[in-house]
């Protein structure tokens, strides 16, 4: 019987099986940011611990960093305190910090891949739920809590149970105007927000085979929103071409040897899975969320589902969503007026996302009642986008071009919704209050759909805008 990538990566990193039934798993790459690390470093200090493999940990600042000006000291004292803390902690424990001065600052899940730190066959951990992003390279990547951040700093290991495996196969050809974000939201809609609980998702099939690395990053990023512990795509030529020449990737003969090893980590053709789900990609329309979790999603040409559409269990959450979002069931989602348009985040703040959104932004002007932000995922993304003139495209359409950071994805910085504002957002969570206002409402969609909503002032079908 063949093995999955998950089996192979797990076996290659298992130090030992623990009496608890968990595995002591060696972590190849540990990513740290300013919000979930201060307590972990403090615990290290109090227990007199040191970091045995400092070269395997890198840090950046993303969550709290303002995106209008990043001149120090930050206006927000708490943000400035967190920034100073990560600087002090990295210095004391010998960890590389990618701050603004390095030219590599950005969202932790954007900078790892772009510097070539994220590689196939690795185990990766970070004190952030969306660490699943790195699975796009055929890595097994987990979000962890603060005490586990301490564990990885102190031992480079994690005590963790091996998830089961679910193959998520999407075949067919996507329609024009349908993007990786639509695919991942559709998968979550079909399998549910709890569909992945206890599982690692292996994404396969024609749709993922054809995707670029940046598209695969978008898909793997959202695995956690479908309840999966992690998600991955098997490494292939697309992966190797993306990695070649990046800063932390081996060069010359060492690269060729690495490619051979990476190929060997992919799932065997006869690998068996605990579950298999097959989805037709050609039937996917641009997706918009209407509720308070990413599984409450519909095609842009559909109506808000009526209570009868749900099972007894789901109905309670649907009723909660109707009340919070202010919907009358049966209303078309298209035409819903928006107040804010946000393009960015670790889901959709990469160069290709900005390119697709700019193609739409070029076709109109942001409606006067809409506040529209474009926030590149990293300094490198910003630099590349500016070299192509994308910032000018957005500015002349009426978008604000901001500095890199998490911005309105989680709103732990000045970028926040106000009151009951409705946001068209390319981020990953539409939970109550997620974008900074306790009553703010979030509609998740692709960056191109956000740009279309900004210029229409309401949810619209990007396929029609692109047709002209």
Binding site for ligand SF4 (CB under 6 A): 62-63, 107-109, 128, 130, 345-346, 406, 409-410, 427-428
Backbone angles phi, psi at 397, to 5 degrees: -85, -10
Helix axes 351-361, 390-397, angle to 10 degrees: 40
> Which residue, 63 or 371, is less far from ligand SF4 as judged by CB?
63
* CB 304, CB 331: distance < 8 Å: yes
Q: Could you give the count of Cα atoms lying within 13 Å of 374 in the half-sphere of its Cβ?
A: 31
The H or E element spanning position 442 is: strand 441-444
Q: Exposed/middle/buried for 241, CB within 10 Å: 0-12, 13-18, 19+?
A: exposed
Bin 116: left if φ > 0, else alpha if -120 < ψ < 50, else beta: left
> Which residue, 291 or 349, is less far from ligand SF4 as judged by CB?
349
The least distance separating ligand SF4 from the CB of residue 63, rounded to whole angstroms, comes to 5
The least distance separating ligand SF4 from the CB of residue 453, rounded to whole angstroms, comes to 19
> Which residue, 74 or 327, is less far from ligand SF4 as judged by CB?
74
The least distance separating ligand SF4 from the CB of residue 36, rounded to whole angstroms, comes to 10
> Which residue, 214 or 456, is less far from ligand SF4 as judged by CB?
214
| Alpha carbon distance 87, 95 (integer Å) | 9
The least distance separating ligand SF4 from the CB of residue 348, rounded to whole angstroms, comes to 9
> Which residue, 357 or 465, is less far from ligand SF4 as judged by CB?
357
| Residue 257, helix vs strand vs coil | helix
> Which residue, 62 or 214, is less far from ligand SF4 as judged by CB?
62
The least distance separating ligand SF4 from the CB of residue 133, rounded to whole angstroms, comes to 8
> Which residue, 130 or 402, is less far from ligand SF4 as judged by CB?
130
State the residue for tokens 């060696």: 26
Secondary structure percentages of the chain, helix, strand, coil, to 5: 40, 20, 40
| Residue 187, helix vs strand vs coil | helix
Three-state DSSP string of 86-139: HHHHHHHHCCEEECHHHCCCECHHHHHHHCCCCCCCCEEEECCHHHHHHHHHCC
In the structure encoding, which two tokens stand for residue 95, read together?
């960890």
Pick the closest to residue 108 from 124, 87, 94 (CA basis). 124
> Which residue, 130 or 229, is less far from ligand SF4 as judged by CB?
130
| Residue 178, helix vs strand vs coil | coil
Backbone angles phi, psi at 271, to 5 degrees: -65, 145
The least distance separating ligand SF4 from the CB of residue 251, rounded to whole angstroms, comes to 30
Q: Exposed/middle/buried for 396, CB within 10 Å: 0-12, 13-18, 19+?
A: exposed
* CB 410, CB 440: distance < 8 Å: no
Query: Which DSSP string corresponds to 278-292?
Result: EEEGGGPPPEEE-SS
| Residue 358, helix vs strand vs coil | helix
> Which residue, 217 or 259, is less far from ligand SF4 as judged by CB?
217
In the structure encoding, which two tokens stand for residue 448, read together?
């191109």
The least distance separating ligand SF4 from the CB of residue 342, rounded to whole angstroms, comes to 11
The least distance separating ligand SF4 from the CB of residue 30, rounded to whole angstroms, comes to 15
> Which residue, 271 or 406, is less far from ligand SF4 as judged by CB?
406
The least distance separating ligand SF4 from the CB of residue 429, rounded to whole angstroms, comes to 7
Angle at 225 between CA 219 and CA 227, to 5 degrees: 110
| Alpha carbon distance 238, 155 (integer Å) | 33
> Which residue, 62 or 202, is less far from ligand SF4 as judged by CB?
62
The least distance separating ligand SF4 from the CB of residue 302, rounded to whole angstroms, comes to 26
The least distance separating ligand SF4 from the CB of residue 346, rounded to whole angstroms, comes to 3
> Which residue, 61 or 318, is less far from ligand SF4 as judged by CB?
61
Angle at 109 between CA 103 and CA 112, to 5 degrees: 55
The least distance separating ligand SF4 from the CB of residue 405, rounded to whole angstroms, comes to 8
């Amino acid at each position: 019987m063949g093995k999955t990538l998950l089996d192979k990566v797990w076996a290659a990193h298992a130090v030992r099986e623990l009496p608890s039934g968990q595995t002591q798993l060696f972590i190849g790459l540990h990513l740290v940011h300013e919000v979930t690390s201060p307590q972990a470093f403090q615990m290290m200090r109090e227990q007199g611990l040191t970091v045995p493999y400092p070269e395997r940990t890198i840090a950046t600042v993303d969550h709290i960093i303002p995106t209008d000006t990043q001149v120090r000291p930050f206006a927000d004292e708490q943000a400035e305190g967190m920034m100073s803390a990560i600087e002090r902690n990295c210095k004391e424990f010998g960890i590389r910090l990618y701050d603004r001065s390095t030219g590599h600052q950005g969202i932790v899940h954007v900078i790892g891949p772009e510097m070539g730190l994220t590689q196939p066959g690795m185990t990766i951990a970070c004190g952030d739920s969306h660490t699943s992003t790195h699975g796009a390279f055929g890595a097994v990547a987990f979000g962890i809590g603060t005490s586990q951040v301490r564990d990885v700093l102190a031992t480079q290991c994690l005590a963790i149970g091996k998830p089961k495996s679910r193959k998520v196969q999407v075949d067919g050809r996507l329609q024009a105007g349908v993007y990786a974000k639509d695919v991942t939201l559709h998968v979550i809609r079909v399998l549910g927000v709890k569909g992945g609980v206890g599982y690692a998702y292996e994404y396969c099939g024609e749709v993922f085979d054809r995707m670029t690395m940046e598209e695969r990053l978008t898909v793997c990023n959202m695995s956690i929103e479908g309840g999966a512990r992690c998600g991955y795509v098997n490494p292939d030529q697309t992966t190797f071409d993306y990695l070649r020449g990046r800063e932390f990737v081996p060069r010359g003969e060492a690269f060729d040897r690495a490619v051979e090893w990476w190929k060997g980590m992919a799932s065997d053709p006869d690998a068996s899975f605990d579950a298999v789900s097959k989805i037709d990609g050609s039937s996917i329309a641009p997706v918009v969320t209407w509720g308070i979790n990413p599984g409450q999603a519909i095609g842009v040409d559909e109506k808000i589902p009526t209570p009868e559409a749900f099972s007894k269990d789901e109905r309670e959450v649907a009723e909660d969503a109707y009340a919070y979002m202010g919907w009358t069931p049966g209303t078309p989602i298209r035409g819903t007026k928006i107040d804010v348009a946000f393009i960015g985040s670790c889901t959709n703040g990469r160069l290709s996302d900005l390119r697709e959104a700019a193609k739409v932004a070029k076709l109109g002007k942001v409606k006067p009642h809409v506040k529209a932000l474009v926030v590149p995922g990293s300094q490198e993304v910003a630099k590349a986008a500016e070299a192509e003139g994308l910032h000018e495209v957005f500015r002349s359409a009426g978008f604000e071009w901001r500095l890199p950071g998490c911005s309105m994805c989680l709103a732990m910085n000045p970028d926040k919704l106000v009151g009951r504002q409705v946001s068209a957002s390319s981020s990953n969570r539409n939970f109550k209050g997620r974008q900074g206002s306790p009553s703010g409402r979030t509609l998740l969609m692709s960056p191109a759909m956000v740009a279309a909503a900004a210029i229409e002032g309401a949810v619209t079908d990007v396929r029609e805008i692109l047709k002209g």
